[in-house]
Chains A and B, each alone.
Chain A
């Protein structure tokens, strides 16, 4: 070899050289032995360069807005470092950061497969319920009791429907 390549993770001499073709794009990575081990390249259970690239290309950018997930406390820097998400709510918070990552990783950018109808409707009615509860609290605070009564009835309807659905699925 003409020159010693440096590890793309640290600055040591790279001894592990990987090439993988995904979607007609060539990905090349050079790693030193200890980084290769850490990244699981030598992990016999199997490893994919796409995973690895996903991790190495997440380099922290200092001037980037720091987002925080309200559910699990995950921050932009954590996501950039690990390339992983912390919980389901992270996908709302970090969506703008996730999308560019998916481009090279997958066949398309949006889901085309199975839709879990029950989970989805449960999630949607949960969000709807939360919105109504907020509105109810607001109208009570504003002493708009007529409106509050309307929201209260709607909430009751949704809650009853949810209980009925749970009973059906349990039966």
Chain B
């Protein structure tokens, strides 16, 4: 069912024409919204859920942004298809487990997805590569206002947008930025950074989950609080933390390079060598090797164009994507072989690392 999405040559996260930014991979903003007259998804009967879903789908299909989008009902998707959508950050794990009457509307370039009947009736998400909080907010705000014209959105002047869980009240807004922080991890500063940003009401998670030494040195940084502050206020606060984090990351990289030049170049060189010759590779190891290649691009050792290739491979090397590409159910071991084949092929075409260009 999701074939058109995977085959698309315009998907924001995997086919972005832009060169990508050092440190920041992508930015997402999501809004939680509910309708006034129906129980929230968890308390709704399956008839009510189906009714909510068809109402939302009908209105959303008319919006400009979604005119060429597609709607998928979760119960119609296979486990593998759901996993692929999770790996692309288009749906949540929670939505995968939901019963009848849940679905997701995804627009053509996969920058906008709306989950229906997850924890709330609507979870609207806009996503872009690079560091883009302000422009995404402008877009999602416009989309939300359009939706509000035809759907009765639950709102109270005191509590703001009403959500099933009080943790999302107020703006219902969660902004989250995916960051590549190898410098802070290698120099053992990540834990300290996490503690410091937690104090500011900002949460740090791994690419797909918990743990400070996350796969591929990729971390999701997002606001925790949603009430008592305007959308701009939330994003300014988050933006300031992100800018400071970027500075720390860049400093950590250069300090490490200065003090451990041979060690760092050796790590990058070995990663490159492995990726060109590997025959069996787990997704975890693939992520960590690709992280070093992204770092190599940031250090001018590879052309800038290769940065978005790495970002694409971060996603395409996930277990679901490898399995989906194989077109048949393959065992984990065969998956590791398929992943290695794919990366070897990709890395065959890269120019040699320009060690002399490292500054």
Contacts and interface: CB of A to CB of B under 8 A. Distances in A.
A111 B39 contact: no
Nearest to B164: A84
Nearest to B196: A21
B289 interface: no
Contacts of A116: 144-145, 148, 153, 155, 161
Given A21-B198, A91-B162, A119-B153, A113 B170 contact: yes
A84 B165 contact: yes
A68 to B, nearest CB: 13
A136 interface: no
Contact of A85 (B40, B148, B209): B40
Interface of A: 20-24, 42-48, 50-51, 54, 71-72, 74, 83-88, 91, 95, 98, 101-102, 105-116, 118-120, 122-123, 169-170
A107 B162 contact: no
B224 A111 contact: no
Interface stretch (B228-236, B246-254, B273-281): B228-236
Given A87-B38, A88-B154, A113-B171, A47 B210 contact: yes
Given A44-B209, A116-B153, A118-B149, A111 B199 contact: no
Contact of A46 (B40, B43, B198, B210): B210
Closest 9 CB pairs of A and B: A108-B228, A44-B209, A111-B160, A88-B154, A106-B227, A107-B228, A113-B171, A86-B43, A72-B39
A111 B227 contact: yes
A106 B158 CA distance: 13
Given A21-B195, A23-B201, A48-B224, A98 B39 contact: no
B229 A113 contact: yes
Contacts of A107: 201, 225, 227-229
Interface in B18-32: none
B162 A88 contact: yes
A21 B34 CA distance: 30
A123 B164 contact: no
A88 B201 contact: no
A126 to B, nearest CB: 9
B226 interface: yes
Given A43-B93, A45-B208, A91-B159, A51 B165 contact: yes
Given A107-B227, A120-B157, 10 more contacts: A43-B93, A45-B92, A71-B39, A86-B39, A98-B159, A106-B225, A111-B156, A111-B227, A113-B160, A119-B152
25 contacts: A22-B224, A24-B199, A43-B209, A44-B208, A46-B203, A46-B209, A46-B220, A50-B224, A51-B165, A84-B40, A84-B165, A87-B39, A102-B166, A106-B225, A107-B201, A114-B144, A114-B230, A116-B144, A116-B148, A116-B161, A119-B36, A119-B148, A119-B152, A119-B154, A123-B152
